[in-house]
Chains A and B, each alone.
Chain A
Amino acid sequence: MKQKSVAVVGAAETTQMGRIPDVSVLGLHADAALNALADCGLKPSDIDGVATAGESPVQLAQYLGITPTWADGTSVGGCSFMLHVRHAAAAINEGLCKTVLITHGESGRSRVGAGGRFGGGSPSSQNGQFEAPYGVAGPPSMFTIPVLRFMKDVGVSEEELAMVAVVQREWAAKNPRATFKDPITVDDVLNSAMIAYPFRLLMCCLVTDGGGALVLTSAERAKDFPQKPVYILGTGESVETPMVSQMEDFTSSKAFRVSGKKAFDEAGISHADVDHLMIYDAFAHLPLYGLEDLGFCGRGEAAKFIWERNTAPPSEGKKGGKLPLNTNGGGLSYMHSGMYGMYALQESVRQMRGIAPAQVPGARISVSHGVGGMFGASGTVIFTNEA
């Protein structure tokens, strides 16, 4: 993709966030969409491309009154929206459509108008035959399975794993919309309820209701919109396996490595150029994998990197770290509706617009990295606010 040829011109989350018992899944998509359209001064009829996951793009278009000439229903889990951004940029460049709306909405907590939780494949699927019989019960007991191997092979302690949640809570404290804002310590994390050893409750993401939407158009047109354009500098995507037990290497995600490298190559930047980073954190180990697989840290260095406050906000007179990470508080403390990737993208856009609650001063390049399934898929979007 040509660098900076496409920009985000509209971005918004749902009006409410957290617990929203009076809005359905489809309603959350629509609320986020209308907020994003208002943000860029457009009406649904101005949109000619739609992309969404969880909900069908057909349903989305019909509900909002959009007649698209391009639709993308790529649904590979929580990073689907990163892939939508990438596909939308390609579609806009190719002239398949001019203005794309990407939406997410999920009633993760209240389950209003939602389908069955975690889907659960048929008993004849690969997962149904070779994982389900052993008692896997959703992400807390699946996504977590590789971590003991990671901890042993690269040398990570339970305290270091807990520290990921502690630092992210510090960021959440600066975000008025974050679900959890009270400070926590490593001991608090280690003493919270055991969910699936070695994962305690505070190492697991929230379950909340909410949504978000983005509007993308060509960089040329982006200049005519009210908000500061946020340009797409580089993108990547990949998939690995629907079964966590068949992940090639339990200490490193192939999908992360492929997607990340593609995005960095496309953007033509080095790691030192990155001012702000989002790594999808459904569980506390994901930022460790992300930092190493994206190349910000060498093998086995990510846990120490976080422990030494390189990703932390400024606090008590101490300077903030050199690589602000998950500055909205992340899935661990901000919100997590089920497919969190949209909120990582929203925070990257806020940082690039300069309006984030915990704004990184002078940030010019932001990387938003997502995961789908249990290390099953990955998408990376690199943004810049410089034309």
Chain B
Amino acid sequence: MDRVLPQPTPETRHFWEGCKAGELRLQRCVQCQQSYFPPRPFCPGCGSREVEVYPASGRATLYSYVINHRPRPDMGTEPHSIAVVALAEGPRMMTNIVGCPQTPQALQLDMPLEVTFQSFSETISLPLFTPAKA
């Protein structure tokens, strides 16, 4: 079964185009300098429409997660993580932690992570996270 994939809107297209290009793109407010996620054409902090897109570092820490033992049909048959990571720039996002065993022992809260992009279609690559090297 094909992976459930996002359908970008005009407000989020830059984010998904960035993922396809191997770049995690965040937005921040020109007025108050606050970074935010998910994408929208105004600052959720102060309401200003003066916002800019910029490439994030791709660094994050593991904020919280579950290991789903009843995977959705498109997610395979093995238990897998559904995680929320805290990006170095501040915002949090949902993702999967890959490249390590899907166990509580391997998935320690606050462990450093880095983004990796996995292609699922011609237009969509999902930003996943993996334990940071060194």
The answer to whether A and B assemble together is yes
Identify the A interface with B (CB < 8 A).
122-124, 126, 128-137, 140-142, 144-149, 152, 193-199, 243, 245-246, 250
Question: Is B96 located at the chain interface by the 8 A CB criterion?
Answer: yes
- A126–B38 CB distance below 8 A: yes
* Given A123-B6, A126-B38, A133-B3, A245 and B94 contact (CB-CB distance below 8 Å): yes
CA distance A149 to B108 in the complex (A): 11
Question: Is B101 located at the chain interface by the 8 A CB criterion?
Answer: no
What is the minimal beta-carbon distance from A145 to any residue of chain B, in angstroms?
Answer: 6
Partner of A195, one of B12, B70, B109: B70
- B126–A197 CB distance below 8 A: no
Contact with A along B111-127 (1 / 0, CB 8 A): 00000000000000010
Within B83-103, the residues touching A (CB, 8 Å) are 83-84, 92-96
What is the minimal beta-carbon distance from A292 to any residue of chain B, in angstroms?
Answer: 17
- B66–A250 CB distance below 8 A: no
- A250–B7 CB distance below 8 A: no
What is the minimal beta-carbon distance from B61 to any residue of chain A, in angstroms?
Answer: 11
Residues from chain B with Cβ under 8 Å of A129 in the complex: 6-9, 12, 16, 38
Question: Is B54 located at the chain interface by the 8 A CB criterion?
Answer: no
CA distance A122 to B9 in the complex (A): 11
What is the minimal beta-carbon distance from B83 to any residue of chain A, in angstroms?
Answer: 8
- A145–B64 CB distance below 8 A: yes
* Given A135-B75, A145-B82, A197 and B69 contact (CB-CB distance below 8 Å): yes
The A-B contact count (CB < 8 A) is: 114
- B82–A135 CB distance below 8 A: yes
- A245–B93 CB distance below 8 A: yes
Residues from chain B with Cβ under 8 Å of A149 in the complex: 63-64, 109
What is the minimal beta-carbon distance from A248 to any residue of chain B, in angstroms?
Answer: 10
- B96–A135 CB distance below 8 A: yes
Residues from chain B with Cβ under 8 Å of A194 in the complex: 67, 69, 79
Residue of A nearest to B75 (CB): A135
- B92–A145 CB distance below 8 A: no
- B3–A130 CB distance below 8 A: no
* Given A146-B64, A196-B68, A245-B94, A133 and B126 contact (CB-CB distance below 8 Å): yes
What is the minimal beta-carbon distance from A195 to any residue of chain B, in angstroms?
Answer: 6
Q: Which 3 A-B pairs have the closest CB atoms?
A: A129-B6, A149-B64, A197-B67
- A134–B82 CB distance below 8 A: yes
Residues from chain A with Cβ under 8 Å of B3 in the complex: 133
7 contacting pairs across A/B (C-beta < 8 A): A132-B6, A135-B4, A135-B72, A135-B75, A148-B109, A243-B38, A243-B94
Residues from chain A with Cβ under 8 Å of B74 in the complex: 135
- A136–B82 CB distance below 8 A: yes
Of listed A122, A130, A146, residue having the most chain B CB within 10 A: A130
CA distance A141 to B92 in the complex (A): 18
Residues from chain A with Cβ under 8 Å of B38 in the complex: 126, 129-130, 243, 246
Residues from chain B with Cβ under 8 Å of A124 in the complex: 6-9
- A145–B66 CB distance below 8 A: yes
Contact with A along B1-19 (1 / 0, CB 8 A): 0011111110010001000
